[in-house]
Amino acid sequence: MGININWVRGRFPALSDSTIYLDNPGGTQIVQDSLDRMNDYLVHCNANFHGAFATSRKSDEIIAETRSGVADFINAKRPEEIIFGPNMTTLTFNISRSIARTWKRGDKIVLTRLEHDANITPWVIAAQERGCSVIYVDFHPEDCTLNMEEMVAALDQQPVFVALGYASNAVGTINPVEKIISLAHQAGALVYIDAVQYAPHGPIDVQKTSPDFLVFSAYKFFGPHIGVLYGRYDLLDSLKAYKVRPASLYPPEKFETGTKNHEGIAGLLGVIQYLEQLGSTFNQEFDIPDVNKYTGRKLLLKKAMFTIRAYEYELSRSILDFLEEIPGVTLYGLNDVSRLEERVPTFGFALKDVHPRVVAQKLDEYEIFVWDGNYYALSVTERLGVEKDGGLIRIGPVHYNTIDEIARLKEALTEIGF
């Protein structure tokens, strides 16, 4: 069977009032399991790590358990490939310094115009410092899909590095990451995947897609403000880390500079446990690729994410249907309901002659929360020519949102009379 929406919503304490949260691409509401884990940690286990006493040992255990859980979530080979940090942006800036040390003057790197700026600027700065050149791959403005001809041409130039988003945080496009990673590896490049916008919406298998690095943030999928970086162990082991001298020489701790956010790590474990329960409770049979290779918690987590994805297709259909009926709407991104597998339910649109901030402010009066602006996807709004007009309005449901909430959004936009 599919999602029991009442069961799901009952696990999120913020959903107890009439507020409609469609601001999820900027950060989801937190699941009770995560809150409970954080509270329990701070009350019963609050200590720094690697000490000889009980609360420190318990902190070590929780950190290790969370690494194992996250490794299962993305099907990493080993927990030591999981690095914790403040958020995707900070983790990317930190690791960029280590990765860029391997570049030589004259090397080329590839970026795309479809990225959050946290997957552009760190690499641009690193390239400037190392004397490397940047090749930009464009996207098609008419549907906001990546220009694969340009990507192939860029890879023909033998770059050493490619940074790519799994899904756009502005317009929802899911990139063909597995295909691009394979082509990039054939060209001799390492690949860094920003999975922040994809992680709440679909299954991730790093052994199948084979990125060299993949990064995401727990507060975008029902947890606290903490980031996660996956890296192939051999690469993490070989890269130089910028750290203090007493810190570990070995992954992952050699990249976790300073004291970690232990309560946030505990909260992330709560998210993993919630998703595990979701996969167990709603045991719908999905066409999970290579399903026989998953067992135990890995299988339950995959079932959870396929369940979420199937339910969110319904939300996406509802949004696409009503946006067609609102006068003056321009939707940026895929609008074909037969291509829902190529997007996440993140929708960027504009209303003719109305500033996006005005729309967000008016919807706030109806207790409907949406984002406006560029959401740090500056290259996207510049390329679409909407940055000068205030960017876009962004709505982004997740699996705790409902069809009724989408209907209320439509009613509010109609009543406001844009």
* pLDDT tens-digit map of 116-125: 999 999 999 9
Question: Rounded to an integer, what distance in angstroms lies between the CA atom of residue 410 and that of residue 371?
Answer: 16
Question: Rounded to an integer, what distance in angstroms lies between the CA atom of residue 85 and that of residue 93?
Answer: 11
pLDDT in tens, 271-325: 999 999 999 987 666 678 887 899 999 999 999 999 999 999 999 999 999 999 9
User: Which residue range is the domain that position 220 belongs to?
Assistant: 34-274
Output the domain CATH number for residue 357. 3.90.1150.10
Q: What is the pLDDT of residue 416?
A: 85
Q: What value does the mean pLDDT take over residues 231-246?
A: 95
Question: Are residues 187 and 76 part of one domain?
Answer: yes
Question: Rounded to an integer, what distance in angstroms lies between the CA atom of residue 155 and that of residue 152?
Answer: 5
Question: Are residues 206 and 146 part of one domain?
Answer: yes
Question: Are residues 209 and 342 part of one domain?
Answer: no
Domain assignment present for residue 399? The answer is: yes
Question: Rounded to an integer, what distance in angstroms lies between the CA atom of residue 389 and that of residue 350?
Answer: 10
**For residue 345, is pLDDT > 90?**
yes
Question: Rounded to an integer, what distance in angstroms lies between the CA atom of residue 13 and that of residue 306?
Answer: 24
**For residue 46, is pLDDT > 90?**
yes
Question: Are residues 237 and 354 part of one domain?
Answer: no
Question: Are residues 178 and 66 part of one domain?
Answer: yes
List for the chain the helix, strand, coil content (%; round to 5): 50, 15, 35
CB atoms near residue 321 (< 10 Å): 12
Show which of 232, 257, 274 is a domain's final residue: 274
Domain assignment present for residue 279? The answer is: no
Residue type, position 380, single letter: V
Domain assignment present for residue 249? The answer is: yes
Domain assignment present for residue 282? The answer is: no
Question: Are residues 101 and 85 part of one domain?
Answer: yes
Q: What value does the mean pLDDT take over residues 148-169?
A: 98
Question: Are residues 371 and 262 part of one domain?
Answer: no
**For residue 1, is pLDDT > 70?**
no
Question: Are residues 330 and 228 part of one domain?
Answer: no
pLDDT in tens, 167-212: 999 999 999 999 999 999 999 999 999 999 999 999 999 999 999 9
Question: Are residues 362 and 266 part of one domain?
Answer: no
